[in-house]
Copies of this chain bind each other. A is one copy, B any other.
């Protein structure tokens, strides 16, 4: 798994899970989808489990399942559960007492709040179901075209 590709990797995994709704997939299987290893997968989706987006079970036949229907899982929730900020610029004061810095930080933080709200709204309108639908379109298209050839 490359750097900064956590969101897309996890979505990749979730769509595969959505395509096999009744079959628990192991960390091992999920890891192969995104070319990494099981421990990284478990570590990464631990937050999704805490958010109820997925469930896990141990032991023989165990593994991972979606916590609810894909229609009820938005990208906003997933992104939040990964604990990543979409706007990763820092506004930590480094010169306490400098009014110039305070002004910069104030403006930047205002921007951040407004921007995060906008992005969260956009992301909340995209669900896992939208991704699976897009996948199926592609799948059907390939099916048709390879049939045609």
Q: Which residues of A contact B (CB under 8 A)?
A: 1-9, 11-12, 15-16, 19, 33-35, 75, 84, 86-92, 94-95, 98-108, 111, 114-115, 118-119, 122-123, 126, 130-132, 134-135, 137-139, 142
- In the assembled complex, the Cα of A6 lies from the Cα of B108 at a distance in Å of 12
Question: Smallest CB–CB gap between A53 and chain B, Å?
Answer: 15
Q: Name the B residues within 8 Å of A89 (CB-CB).
A: 4-8, 84, 86
- In the assembled complex, the Cα of A131 lies from the Cα of B130 at a distance in Å of 41
Known: A12-B104, A86-B115. 15 other contacts (CB 8 A): A2-B94, A4-B89, A5-B90, A5-B94, A7-B108, A8-B108, A11-B108, A16-B100, A75-B111, A86-B87, A103-B132, A103-B135, A107-B130, A115-B119, A115-B122
Taking a contact as CB atoms under 8 Å apart, the answer to whether A131 and B107 are in contact is: yes
Q: Name the B residues within 8 Å of A19 (CB-CB).
A: 100
In the complex, 25 of the A-B residue pairs with CB atoms within 8 angstroms, ordered by the A residue number, are A2-B90, A4-B89, A4-B90, A5-B89, A5-B92, A5-B94, A7-B89, A8-B90, A8-B104, A11-B104, A11-B108, A19-B100, A34-B94, A34-B95, A75-B111, A84-B89, A86-B87, A87-B87, A100-B135, A102-B138, A103-B134, A103-B135, A104-B131, A107-B130, A107-B131
- In the assembled complex, the Cα of A144 lies from the Cα of B89 at a distance in Å of 33
User: If A111-B123, A126-B111, A131-B107 touch, does A99 touch B138 (CB 8 Å cutoff)?
Assistant: yes
